[in-house]
Amino acid sequence: MTRRKKIYEGKAKTLFEGPEPGTIVQYFKDDATAFNAEKKDVIEGKGVLNNMLSEYFMTGLGSVGVPTHFIKRLNMREQLVRSCEIIPLEVIVRNYAAGSICTRLGIEEGTAMPRPIVEYCYKDDSLGDPLVTEEHIAAFGWASQQDMDDIIALALRVNDFLSGVMFGVGIKLVDFKIEIGRVFDGDFQRLVVADEISPDSCRLWDIETGQKLDKDVFRRDLGSLTDAYTEVAKRLGVMPKQSTPVSKPTLIN
């Protein structure tokens, strides 16, 4: 890691000041947390895989005209992004029931949603990121009505893109979470997809076997998280390049 000024340390990433004003370096750690950080571990290689996968998804979104904060990947663990003001919401899109919606509404895991459902959680770890409605968001000024319309449109475009990409490699996109940032161009404000998109923030099931290829592997102790994320990366053709095996030095007499 280079000597950069740390701005913020989160659970899975550390943010550093970027080389130019208005830029930030996101460093992907190997730390895995679940259940509001009650369960923790270090999963070797997770940060590298998420950095590569997030680059892949953000670049793909950019290429179909969905604005993101992503600028470029710098190395195996770091990427350069535009600095933005993060709206304090987790925007969740669900195509099939899993996780909290199953317990909240008594729906069986895997049930197809009648249509993609967009939910919002207020980003506050001390409160456990509670579910909120558009009423709360507007009344407490976290986002305007216009922002909300833009956020829904962005979230559904991300859903269409990611669902298609994942379907193409035999994976069902069950649900995912994104974060939205505001970037300012003079007096104008634009909303962009920020943070990361990776198997840490999506539920991904193999279409044929139903095998889980996302953070639920860690949450529920279902096996190796690195193997699951590597499988996703391999299918998408974004495996980090293996370094050439280095043979031990041999003594020359």
Task: Tell the smallest beta-carbon distance from residue 82 to ligand UDP (Å).
Answer: 21
Phi/psi for 50 (5° steps) reads -65, -35
CA-wise closest residue to 202 among 95, 129, 83? 95
Query: For residues 83 and 201, which CB has a smaller minimum distance to ligand UDP in the complex?
Result: 201
Q: By C-beta, is 55 or 195 nearer to ligand UDP? A: 195
- Comparison of 18 and 225: residue with beta carbon closer to ligand UDP: 225
Cα distance between residue 252 and residue 37, in whole Å: 52
If binding is defined by CB under 6 A, does position 163 make contact with ligand UDP? no
Residue from the set 55, 78, 147, 175 that interacts with ligand UDP by CB under 6 A: 175
> Least distance from C-beta 210 to ligand UDP, angstroms?
16
d(CA 29, CA 12): 5
Taking the least distance from each CB to ligand UDP, the nearer of 51 and 201 is 201
The reply on whether position 203 binds ligand UDP by CB under 6 A is yes
HEC profile of the chain: CCCCCEEEECCCEEEEECCCCCEEEEEECCEEEECCCCEEEECCCHHHHHHHHHHHHHHHHHHCCCCECEEEECCCCEEEEECCEECCEEEEEEEECCCHHHHHHCCCCCCEEEEEEEEEEECCHHHCCCEECHHHHHHCCCCCHHHHHHHHHHHHHHHHHHHHHHHHCCEEEEEEEEEEEEEEECCEEEEEEECCCCCCCEEEEECCCCCECCCHHHHCCCCCHHHHHHHHHHHHCCCCCCCCCCCCCCCCC
Q: Applying CB under 6 A, does 60 fall inside the site for ligand UDP?
A: no
Q: Provide the mask over 106-145, with x wherever binding to ligand UDP is found by CB under 6 A and - wherever it is not.
A: -----------------------x----------------
Nearer to ligand UDP, 73 or 215 (CB): 215
Kindly state the number of chain residues that form the binding site for ligand UDP, as judged by CB under 6 A: 14
Q: Which is nearer to ligand UDP, 26 or 201 (CB)?
A: 201
Backbone angles phi, psi at 159, to 5 degrees: -60, -45
Among 31, 55, 78, 90, the residue binding ligand UDP under the rule CB under 6 A is: 90
Point out which span in 65-73, 95-103, 153-161, 205-213 binds ligand UDP (CB under 6 A): 95-103
Contact window for ligand UDP (CB under 6 A) among 108-116, 173-181, 221-229, 243-251 = 173-181
Q: How far is the CB of 20 from ligand UDP (least distance, A)?
A: 29
**Residues interacting with ligand UDP, by CB under 6 A?**
90, 92, 98-101, 129, 175-177, 201-203, 215
